[in-house]
């Protein structure tokens, strides 16, 4: 479904602020798979999702999505293939518009007159049905402005809207991080439900080890712009939070392993 090869992105190259955000990333995501991306702050998780979404053009490397070479496509052109949800629950929706209007906008994404927000009765019935899946009682409040909802409710709706047209890939960037623990758990559970039900291909950046272990069927760990661990299939099944922490630990230890350590261990290790 998604094939990334040799992806490199350096911000502020050749300056003192140079950041090698992606260093030669190779990643293939199978159709219908759900992958968690974990890693320390600044390891390049968001940059990887941004590269897929087309926020910038990479320095080198290629991206193939659903058979299409999208590497040089502008962001708006890719939007038809991609659903996104960010951390901020207020980012994905328009506060002053009603729930129904927001959803109609999402339904028309990529159509010729995307800005018409009239809600036909046929659309209304479909909206009602799909919103009821959230089990938040929002189907009875379709004409309320979305700004009156809680962060958790808004994030659930954003998720629903992002997946309304069954995107080729769903990109979630810490989409539960700004929610209170109960809402976060609810949105996480909904994510799993929708991804499974719609058989979506999804990538989810998260700092929650629990989510990474519970929800997806693959865990990719990043560090300093590289993929340093990749748990799939039976490896994923047996991995637990302490294993992930141990791997983080190992990666960091490897970094501290310099020439002086090598010399020391050459003498001392028997």
Partner 1 sequence: MELVTEKKGAIFIVRAKGRLDASWTDFFTEAFLEFIRQGEHDLLIDAEGISFLSSAGIRSLVRIHKDLTKLKGRFRIVNANEFVVNTLQMTGFGVWIEKKAEADLVAIHVADAGGDLPADCFLIEKNAEMKLSIVNHWAPWEKADGEKLKTIDYQSVTFSVGVGCPQGSDSENQTMVGDFMVVAGNILFQSPEEESRPDFLQPLENFVPKFRVLQAVEAKGNISHLIRFKPNAETQNFSVSALIEKCHNLLQSDNILFVILAESDGMVGAQLIQSPTFISDSMSVEGIGLREWLSFTGERAFVGDQVLAVGVASLKPNQPLEPLLRQTSKDEAWFSHIHAAVFPYQPIQNGLLDLQTQLSRFLNGPPPKALMHLINDQRPEAGLGQTRFSRGAVWCSAIKMEETL
The partner in contact with residue 258, picked from partner 1, Mg ion, ligand ATP, none with C-beta cut-offs of 5 to 8 angstroms by kind, is partner 1
Nearer to partner 1, 14 or 266 (CB): 266
247 lines the binding site for ligand ATP (CB under 6 A): no
CA 193, CA 214: separation in Å to the nearest integer?
Answer: 12
Binding residues for Mg ion, rule: CB under 5 A, are 45-46
167 lines the binding site for ligand ATP (CB under 6 A): no
CA 234, CA 226: separation in Å to the nearest integer?
Answer: 23
Binding residues for partner 1, rule: CB under 8 A, are 229, 235, 238-239, 243, 246-247, 250, 252-254, 256-270
The partner in contact with residue 42, picked from ligand ATP, Mg ion, partner 1, none with C-beta cut-offs of 5 to 8 angstroms by kind, is ligand ATP
44 lines the binding site for ligand ATP (CB under 6 A): yes
73 lines the binding site for ligand ATP (CB under 6 A): no
> Can you tell me which of 32, 42, 145, 151 binds ligand ATP, judged by CB under 6 A?
42
Burial of 186 (0-12, 13-18, 19+ CB in 10 A): buried
- CB of 248: closest distance to ligand ATP in angstroms? 13
DSSP 77-139: HHTTTEEEE-S-TTTSS-TTSBHHHHHHHHHTTTSSSTT-----HHHHHHHHHHHHTT-SSGG
DSSP 33-48: -EEEEEESTTSSHHHH
- CB of 117: closest distance to ligand ATP in angstroms? 31
CA 24, CA 35: separation in Å to the nearest integer?
Answer: 19
> Can you tell me which of 14, 15, 41, 259 binds ligand ATP, judged by CB under 6 A?
41
CA distances from 48 to 6, 56, 223 (A): 12, 10, 12
List interacting residues with ligand ATP (CB under 6 A). Answer: 11, 19, 21, 39, 41-47
């Amino acid at each position: 479904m998604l094939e990334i090869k040799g992806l490199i992105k350096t911000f502020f190259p050749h300056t003192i602020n140079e950041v090698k955000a992606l260093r030669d990333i190779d990643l293939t995501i199978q159709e219908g798979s759900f992958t968690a991306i974990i890693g320390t702050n600044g390891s390049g998780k968001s940059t990887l999702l941004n590269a897929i979404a087309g926020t910038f053009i990479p320095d080198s490397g290629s991206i193939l999505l659903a058979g299409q070479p999208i590497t040089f496509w502008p962001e708006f052109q890719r939007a038809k293939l991609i659903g996104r949800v960010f951390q901020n629950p207020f980012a994905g929706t328009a506060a002053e518009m009603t729930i129904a209007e927001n959803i109609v906008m999402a339904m028309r994404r990529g159509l010729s007159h995307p800005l018409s927000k009239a809600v036909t009765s046929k659309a209304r019935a479909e909206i009602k049905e799909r919103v009821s899946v959230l089990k938040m009682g929002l189907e009875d409040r379709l004409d309320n402005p979305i700004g009156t909802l809680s962060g958790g409710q808004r994030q659930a709706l954003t998720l629903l809207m992002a997946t309304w047209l069954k995107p080729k890939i769903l990109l979630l960037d810490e989409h539960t991080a700004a929610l209170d623990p109960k809402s976060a758990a609810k949105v996480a559970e909904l994510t799993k439900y929708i991804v499974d039900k719609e058989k979506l291909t999804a990538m989810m950046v998260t700092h929650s080890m629990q989510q990474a272990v519970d929800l997806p069927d693959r865990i990719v760990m990043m560090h300093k712009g590289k993929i340093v661990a990749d748990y799939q299939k039976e490896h994923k099944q047996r991995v637990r939070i302490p294993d992930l922490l141990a791997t983080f630990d190992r990666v960091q230890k490897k970094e501290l392993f310099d020439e002086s350590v090598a010399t020391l261990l050459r003498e001392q290790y028997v």
